Structure 1
Amino acid sequence: MNLPDAHTHSSTAASGTAPQFICGTSPADWKQVALLAERDEHVTPFFGIHPWFLNPAEWKEEMPRLESLLQKIPHAGVGETGLDKCRRGIPGLPLQKEALERHLELAARLDRPASLHCCRAWGTLAEMLTKYPRLNIVLHGWTGALHPGTELPSGNWLLSVGLREMERPGLLASIPLHRLALESDGHPETLPELYRRAAQELGMTVNNLVDLVQSNMENLIRP
């Protein structure tokens, strides 16, 4: 499969020659993500602690390991991390914000891109990002909850859309083309249909859309 994927995971990564951003979500899968990146030059690995897997008793002790891994892999990004007010049974927003702040600070200090998850906390996330105006970020699962031109920092960011988000009328039209990315979020079998529908909605060929998304992803990691 040769379709760029701006957000996927190690358990479902597809082989091919297109760029993939493969995100680790906890120490449990960091090693697998690192191995995939080592074997495939088209993979950009990301390492972070997702709010679903944020352990209140352990996450602070895991951060030095995260930094060490990033130091060892100079082209790696930070994430998947973020904020989530949708899922039950996970730590509340105050602890999520503390952990996210540590991730953002690390990404800024090491000059790495960040892949961010957000569910019903976009305003809080946008406010936190104002402290890091130069940070390169992928906002995955973009739902159009904010006006990107005025509510996001002026840094280098991508708004990544999957097949589920495509159900929102007019979503793609609201995204500047140089900010657009497409993702499988761990379901690579959805990519052909996603690219077909997105190309049709944008009035371009699939090949041109592939070139656009690939260029946007490359500009994020090599601006």
Structure 2
Amino acid sequence: MTQYFSMWGNLTIRENLLFIARLYSLDRRRDRVERALSELGLTARQHQLAKELSGGWKQRMALAACMLHEPVLLFLDEPTAGVDPKARREFWQMLHQLSDRGISILVSTHYMDEAERCHKVAYLSYGRLLANGTIASIIASQNLITMRTSGAGLTLLESQLQRLPDIEQTVIFGNQLYITSRDEAKLKSALFAFTQQGYEFCKVDTNLEDAFTYLMKNNCEKN
């Protein structure tokens, strides 16, 4: 399944699916189309022109087309790029339903929350495989410690922390600042001075984005 819409806008959803079934000389075409429409929640929209669909519904239709030949393996190239959050969530719910039926699904994505939905992930950077395994194993392998603080002046605090040798990375999300290091004792020591300024730091779980960012940083430094 391609990243961008690659079906026929002047055909309805149903016509698109029937046309694809004919292209691949599939048997039981109408039965296959009916099943795909039902499974992907497209029955009520089956007579709507494809060009009139939102991004999320276009991707549903594309997935329905991929399911016509009853595959055991699906390749999806950034299937939710440009899709709104609600449609993204619904699309991934459908993927998990397909996975529960025994279908293997390989997805490329830039969204870390989507990667965290997968049973296993592989991290590719400039053609190099940097990590491969479960989410938990990849995060654990980086041995990162993450602390969090909140309050005023986070941008200034972040710039000060970034100059310290034992700080690997920092990132601001809303009114919270996350600080990552590989040495918990040195991290706490580095942060102690800032507690005198009124900041409170608490340890939190390192997430996949932290691990991937660290992997990318190290890979760039080695090259």
Larger Rg: 2
TM-score range, shorter chain: 0.3 to 0.5
TM-score, normalised relative to structure 1: 0.34
* Structure possessing the higher relative contact order (Cα contacts under 8 Å, 6 or more residues apart): 1
